[in-house]
Amino acid sequence: MRAIQADGRPMEVLLIEDSAGDVRLTQEAFRIADPSIHLHVVSDGKEAMAFLKNEAAHVHAPRPDIILLDLNLTKMDGCEVLAHIKSNDNLKTIPTMILTTSEAEADVVRSYRLQANCYLNKPAQWDAFESLVKSINDFWLTKVKLPQPSHVE
């Protein structure tokens, strides 16, 4: 089933990830899952907030349908980004998923407390990673009812 909005728009995914290697893997996995998905990448928390608030270079950035957020970021810690998103009335309705290497219970609990929509461990094996991204696509981009941004005409 194709990931496509009712009005024909492609799905927009924002990946907040500073490891170039992981970015590439994620791009590959999404391309395999569904090439029509638009994957946007920012490498730190500040840029992420600029993207989401349509500031500076990101003034024309689309509103993401989902956000994938790594906890280990430079400049602004991933949890801080999560807190910013979830305390912003306009942004908090965007499903924000932690996708990170840490399995620490403290990180898991803190993320859920900050209302991360879910917490996902980055698998070490490519097969498992590909399967995870497929799962994300299947569940979030074809089955879940996502909030619609209100139309500004």
Partner 1 sequence: MITRELGESNESDAKYRGLLEAAPDAMVVVNQDGEIVLLNVQAEKQFGYRRDELVGQKVKNIIPEGFAERLIADALRSAEDALAQQIGTGIELTGRRKDGSGFPIEIMLSPLESAEGVLVTAAIRDITKRKKAEANLLQKVEELNRSNEELEQFAYIASHDLQEPLRMVASYTQLLSRRYKGQLDSDADDFIAFAVDGASRMQRLIQDLLAYSRAGTKAKHLFDTSSEEALQQALVNLRGAIEESQAVVTHDPLPNVLADEMQLIQVFQNLIGNAIKYQNPGVPRVHISAAKNDEMKWIFSVRDNGLGIDSQYFEKIFGMFQRLHKREEFAGTGIGLAICKKIVERHGGRISVESQLGHGSTFRFALAGSERES
Partner 2 sequence: MKAAQNGRTKEVLLVEDSPGDVRLMQEAFHSANPSIHLYVASDGMEAMAFLMHEGIHVHAHQPDLILLDLNLPKMDGREVLARIKGDVRLKTIPTVVLTTSDAEADIAKSYQLQANCYLSKPVQLDAFEALVKSINDFWLTKVKLPQKRQSG
Q: Which of partner 2, partner 1, none does residue 127 bind to, with CB < 5 to 8 Å depending on kind?
A: none
If the CB atoms of residues 20 and 104 are measured against partner 2, the closer one turns out to be 104
Q: Which of partner 2, partner 1, none does residue 22 bind to, with CB < 5 to 8 Å depending on kind?
A: none
x-marked contacts with partner 1 along 80-109 as a string, rule CB under 8 A? ------------------------------
| Region of residue 94 (phi > 0: left; psi between -120 and 50: alpha; otherwise: beta) | beta
Question: Exposure pattern of 120-140 as b/e (b: 16+ CB <10 Å)?
Answer: bebeeeeeebbebbeebbeeb
CA–CA separation, 119 and 13 (whole Å) = 16
- Within 4-33, which residues bind partner 1 (CB under 8 A)? 7-8
Which residues contact partner 1 (rule: CB under 8 A)? Answer: 7-8, 153
